[in-house]
């Protein structure tokens, strides 16, 4: 029966015995708009016709008028690889504000979600999008905003939660696989990891939660996204980036990293550990970590106008502007 529930992950989603998936949040969308919002216009562009995947692009109105070339932010949304899209009100609001504050162009990536499309499909789609972005580096790609308005010497990756995990792995892959014949390096200036979703079977330090119920929920969410391809659980190198000694991040393909964590977030210690691991490695770049005291996971998306969220946005923008 289609009404029989196999897995109940309320308030996020339900999976029925028939295989049907009912997402309970992150499914609402808002349209892009060429009518300025906070001085920013937006539009949707297909990057992968074969899989019918699109990005939502954001452009400051003044750049459209002057033809000025700006830094580019490629953003990967969060949602545990399972919920949310690049077109939700949550991410439209965040990217509009980020572009306005940072004076940049943004590409917000939509990727196929688990469990229908298990990991690593979300990573592969994100890589396909990055390669599409770099077809515009010489100014002759299919999308005019990228041709006319982007300074490709200032390209940044960012994401929150699962999107931060994707951003890290894209920067690692870019150091090994050339994104464009026009490049002599990775092509990525820096990355911003907001409340990154890294995890491990056992706590990485004495401050990380030891609550078995909570740890099991975090692990179960990963397993839901990664099954059937996953054989190592949360010790998979895609998520156990920090604790695993076999995961070398010294080859990260960018020169600077900003890690943002929230004090009450169960994932916060992983963010601290990631920054420490980078600093101890042979990576030659600069890493900075900023903690929002008294806040929990992705609070800035839930309450974008609160004081701590506005502070976080200022830091986000300063990094993109090269002021950190």
Half-sphere exposure of 255 (CA within 13 A, CB side): 11
Q: DSSP of 160-180, one letter per residue?
A: ETHHHHHHHHHHHHHHHS-S-
Q: What is the pLDDT of residue 227?
A: 80
pLDDT category at 211 given cuts 50, 70, 90 is very high
Residue 135: cis peptide before it, omega within 30 degrees of 0: no
Q: What is the pLDDT of residue 195?
A: 98
240: Cβ contacts below 8 Å, ≥ 6 apart? 198, 199, 200, 201, 232, 234, 247
Question: Is 64 in a helix, a strand, or coil?
Answer: helix
**146 to 37, 109, 124, 130, 186: CA distances (angstroms):** 20, 14, 22, 12, 18
Per-residue pLDDT averaged across 115-119, rounded?
Answer: 92
Say if residues 204 and 273 touch (Cβ distance below 8 Å): yes
Strand partners, 58: 42, 106
Taking CB atoms within 8 Å and a gap of at least 24, the contacts of 214-223 are 214/266, 218/266, 218/267, 221/9, 221/80, 221/82, 222/80
Tokens 């990536």, located at residue: 109
Between 65 and 97, the more confident residue is 97
Which of 18, 71, 8, 78 has its CA nearest to residue 224? 8
Task: Respond yes or no: is residue 161 known to be catalytic.
Answer: yes
Q: What is the pLDDT of residue 27?
A: 85
Q: What is the pLDDT of residue 221?
A: 86
Per-residue pLDDT averaged across 290-300, rounded?
Answer: 98
The answer, yes or no, to whether residue 6 has pLDDT greater than 80, is: no
Residue 110 DSSP symbol: P
pLDDT category at 10 given cuts 50, 70, 90 is confident
Q: What is the pLDDT of residue 71?
A: 98
Q: What is the pLDDT of residue 181?
A: 87
Q: What is the pLDDT of residue 14?
A: 81
267: left (phi over 0), alpha (psi -120 to 50) or beta: alpha
Per-residue pLDDT averaged across 22-31, rounded?
Answer: 87
Query: What mean pLDDT is reported for the chain?
Result: 94
**In CATH, which superfamily holds the domain spanning 32-321?**
Alpha/Beta hydrolase fold, catalytic domain (3.40.50.1820)
Per-residue pLDDT averaged across 203-220, rounded?
Answer: 93
Which of 45-49, 80-84, 115-119, 179-183 is predicted with the least confidence, judged by mean pLDDT?
Answer: 179-183
The answer, yes or no, to whether residue 129 has pLDDT greater than 60, is: yes
The answer, yes or no, to whether residue 199 has pLDDT greater than 60, is: yes
Which of 19-28, 59-68, 85-94, 285-294 is predicted with the least confidence, judged by mean pLDDT?
Answer: 19-28
Q: What is the pLDDT of residue 296?
A: 97
Q: What is the pLDDT of residue 93?
A: 98
Between 201 and 24, the more confident residue is 201
**Residue tagged active-site, from 122, 161, 189, 200:** 161
- The percent of residues above 90 in pLDDT, for the chain, comes to 82
pLDDT category at 264 given cuts 50, 70, 90 is very high
Which of 10-14, 46-50, 216-220, 304-308 is predicted with the least confidence, judged by mean pLDDT?
Answer: 10-14
Residue ranges of domains in the chain: 1-30, 32-321
Which sign does the torsion angle of CA 172, 26, 118, 178 carry? Answer: negative
Residue 207 DSSP symbol: T
The answer, yes or no, to whether residue 256 has pLDDT greater than 80, is: yes
pLDDT category at 1 given cuts 50, 70, 90 is low
């Amino acid at each position: 029966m289609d009404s029989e529930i196999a897995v109940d992950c309320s308030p996020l989603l339900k999976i029925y015995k028939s295989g049907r998936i009912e997402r309970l949040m992150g499914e609402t969308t808002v349209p892009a708009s060429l009518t300025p919002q906070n001085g920013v216009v937006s539009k949707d562009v297909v990057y992968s016709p074969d899989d019918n995947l699109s990005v939502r692009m954001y452009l400051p109105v003044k750049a459209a008028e002057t033809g000025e070339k700006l830094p580019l932010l490629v953003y990967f949304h969060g949602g545990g690889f399972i919920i949310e899209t690049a077109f939700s009100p949550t991410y439209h609001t965040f990217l509009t504000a980020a572009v306005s504050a940072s004076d940049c162009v943004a590409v917000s990536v939509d990727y196929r979600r688990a469990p229908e499309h298990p990991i690593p499909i979300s990573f592969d789609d994100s890589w396909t999008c990055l390669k599409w972005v770099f077809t515009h580096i010489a100014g002759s790609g299919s999308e005019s905003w990228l041709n006319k308005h982007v300074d490709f010497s200032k390209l940044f990756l960012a994401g929150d939660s699962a999107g931060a995990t994707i951003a890290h792995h894209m920067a690692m892959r870019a150091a090994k696989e050339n994104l464009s014949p026009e490049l002599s390096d990775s092509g990525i200036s820096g990355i911003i990891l907001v409340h990154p979703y890294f995890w491990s079977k056992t706590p990485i330090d004495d401050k990380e939660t030891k609550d078995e119920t909570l740890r099991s929920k975090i692990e179960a969410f990963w397993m839901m996204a990664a099954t059937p391809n996953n054989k190592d659980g949360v010790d998979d190198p895609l998520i156990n980036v920090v604790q695993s000694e076999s995961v070398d991040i010294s080859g990260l393909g960018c020169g600077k990293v900003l890690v943002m964590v929230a004090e009450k977030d169960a994932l916060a210690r992983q963010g601290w550990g990631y920054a420490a691991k980078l600093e101890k490695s042979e990576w030659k770049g600069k890493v900075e970590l900023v903690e929002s005291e008294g806040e929990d996971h992705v609070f800035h998306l839930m309450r974008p106008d609160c004081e701590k969220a506005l502070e976080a946005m200022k830091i986000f923008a300063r990094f993109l502007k090269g002021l950190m």
